[in-house]
Amino acid sequence: MFDGDIGRKINYTENISLTGKKIFLEQLKKLIQDLDIGTEVKAQLLEQVKVAQKNLVVSEFKFHRTVIDKAAITNVLNASIEEIDNQKKRIEAAKNEINENMIVLDNQKKEIEEKNTALNLVLTNLKETQQQLVQSEKMASLGQLTAGIAHEINNPINFVSANVKPLKEDLADIIKCINYYQKTVKDKGLEKEFVEVQKFNEQTDIQFALTEVEDLLRGIEEGASRTSEIVKGLRNFSRMDQHVIKKADLNEGIESTLTLLHSTYRDRIEIVKDFGQIPEVDCFPGQINQVFMNLLSNAIQAINGAGKIFIKTSATGNEIRISIKDTGSGMTEEIRTKIFDPFFTTKEVGKGTGLGLSISYGIIEKHKGRLQVFSEPGKGSEFVINLPLEQETIT
C-alpha cells in the first residue's frame, strides 16, 4: 500500500562517512598550509584538496538527490500501482456489471424472442383464421348457390323421373296394340287390304322406331336418375349447417364429394372404396365435406394419367379414421413439411391458392382431430384423418 509519509522518513542528517571525509579534508588543508614546503608544491597540493572537496560536495549532493528522487519515484510508482489496482478493480466491477447486464439483456432478448414467436404464431393463426373465414364465407355463398340450384333442378327432374315410368307403360301398351293389329291382319289374310299400311310401316321402319323409343326412354330414365344423384350430392355437400354441430355420416359425405368430382376422374382413375361400418360423427358437416373435397381434388390432380385412389373409413375406439391414398407423384420431405403452410402451393401460378390444405388442417384441428400426411416421391401420398366421434364444444 502507498504510504504518503514515506518521503518524510528520509534522514536529512549528513551521511556520517561524508562528514568524516569533509573533516579529514579540512584538517588536511590546514596541515598542508602549515607545512614548510615550497610555495608551488603547496599550491599544487591545496589545489588537489580543493578538487577533492568539490568532488565530495558533488558526491554529497548526488547522495541526497538520489535518496530524495528514489523516495519520490517510489511514492509516485506506489500511487500509480495503487491507482492501476483501483482501475483494475473498477474495470473488473464494470466488467461484472456488464456481464450481469448482458445476462439480463440475454434473458430479455429470449423473452422478446419468445413473445415474438408467440406473436408470430398469433399472427399466423389470425391470418389462417382470416383466410378460413374468407373461405368459409365463400363456401357458404357457394353452398347457398348450390343449394338453390339443387332445389330448382330437383323439381323438374322429379317431373321427368315421375313421368318416365307411365310413359314406358304407355309405350308398351302402344307397342302391344301395334303388334295386335299386325297379328290380326296376318291371321285374317287381310294383307292385300293393308298393303299400303305395310308399305308405310316398312318405309318408316316402325320396329326400329319402337326399339329406339325404348332405348331413348331408358336413357331419359338413367339421365334423370343420375341428375337426381347429382342434385342429392349437391344438396348434401352444400348443407346449410356449417355453424351447427350435427351428427353426420362421413361415408355419405365422401360419396357426395366423389359425385361432384366425378367428371374430373372418370375414365382415368379408379376409386377403390373400403367403407367401414362407422357411426355418425359430431361435426360441422359442410366443413368436413370441404376437407374431403380438398383432399380428393389434390389426390386426383396428383395422378397424371391413369391411377387409383383408395378410400378407407374405419372406426377405432372413440375415433373415426379416414384414409385417402393415391398412386400419384408423391412429394419430397421438403414439400411435405410445408404443405400445411398457408399460401404454399406446388401448382402453377393462378391454379392454386395454397390455402386448401391449410384450411383443411385448421378444420380438422378445430374438430380436435388430426390430419397427417405420408408421402414419398413416386410412391403417392396418403392423407389420414382422425376425428373424435363426439365433440364437446367447438369454438
Partner 1 sequence: MKAKNIYGENIDEIKLGFSAAITDGFGPTLAIVFSSITQDRKALVDFFDEQKIDVFGSTTAGEIIDDEVMENNTVIMLLDIKREYYKVFCEASADTYKVSGDLAKFAKAAFKDPSVVVISSGLTIDAEQIIKGVQDYDKTIPLFGGLAGDDLTMKGSYVFSNNYESSTGLIGLILDNEKINVKGLATSGWDNIGIEKTITKSIGNVVYSIDDEPAVDVFVKYFQFTESVDNTAEIIAQNFAQYPLQLTKENGNTVLRAPLMVDIESRALIFAGGIPQGSKVKFSVQPGFDLIEKTTERVRALQSGIPEADAMIMFSCKARHMALGPMTGDEAGMIRGIWDKPLIGFFTYGEIGTAKNSTCDFHNETCSMVILEEK
Residues in the site for partner 1, rule: CB under 8 A? 4, 7-8, 10, 54, 57-58, 61-62, 65, 68-69, 71-73, 75-77, 79-80, 83-84
Q: Which is nearer to partner 1, 8 or 266 (CB)?
A: 8
Between 58 and 172, CB nearer to partner 1? 58
Strand order in the sheet with 381-388: 269-275, 307-316, 319-326, 381-388, 370-375
3-state SS class at 351 = coil
In angstroms, give the least distance from the CB of 79 to partner 1.
Answer: 7
The answer to whether 323 touches 382, Cβ cutoff 8 Å, is: yes
Minimum CB separation of residue 83 from partner 1 in Å reads 6
Q: How far is the CB of 71 from partner 1 (least distance, A)?
A: 7
* Closest alpha carbon to 256 in 147, 158, 377, 114: 147
Rounded-to-integer distance, Cα 31 and Cα 378, Å: 128
Kind and range of the H or E run holding 386: strand 381-388
Q: What's the min distance (Å) between Cβ of 49 and partner 1?
A: 17
- Which of 35, 39, 15 is closest to 27 using CA atoms? 35
Shortest distance (Å) from residue 84 CB to partner 1: 6
**CB-neighbour burial class of residue 285 (10 A; exposed 0-12, middle 13-18, buried 19+):** buried
Look at the chain and count its residues. Answer: 395
> In this structure, what C-alpha cell is assigned to residue 305?
394419367
Backbone φ and ψ of 24, nearest 5° = -60, -45
Of 86 and 337, CB closest to partner 1:
86
Grid cell in block for residue 218: 331408358
Nearer to partner 1, 61 or 159 (CB): 61
Give the Cα-Cα-Cα angle 198, 203, 205 (nearest 5 degrees): 90
Look up residue 375 and give its amino acid.
Answer: S
Minimum Å gap between C-beta 51 and partner 1 is: 13
Cβ nearer to partner 1, comparing 75 with 386: 75
In contact, 45 and 31? CB cutoff 8 Å: no
Taking the least distance from each CB to partner 1, the nearer of 13 and 393 is 13
Nearer of residues 58 and 145 to partner 1, judged by Cβ: 58
- The one-letter amino acid code at 152 reads E
Least distance in angstroms from the C-beta of 115 to partner 1: 45
DSSP notation for 283-297: E-HHHHHHHHHHHHH
Q: To the nearest whole angstrom, how small is the minimum distance from the Cβ of residue 93 to partner 1?
A: 19
Is 278 within 8 Å of 250 (Cβ atoms)?
A: yes
Closest CB 68 distance from partner 1, rounded Å? 5
CB of 280 closer than 8 Å to CB of 247: yes
| Minimum CB–partner distance for residue 37 and partner 1 (Å) | 29
Nearer to partner 1, 80 or 141 (CB): 80
Residue 82 makes CB contacts below 8 A (sequence gap 6+) with 1, 2
Of 83 and 137, CB closest to partner 1: 83
| Cα 348 → chain centroid | 21
Distance CA 341, CA 330 (A): 18
Please say which residue, 65 or 226, places its beta carbon nearer to partner 1: 65
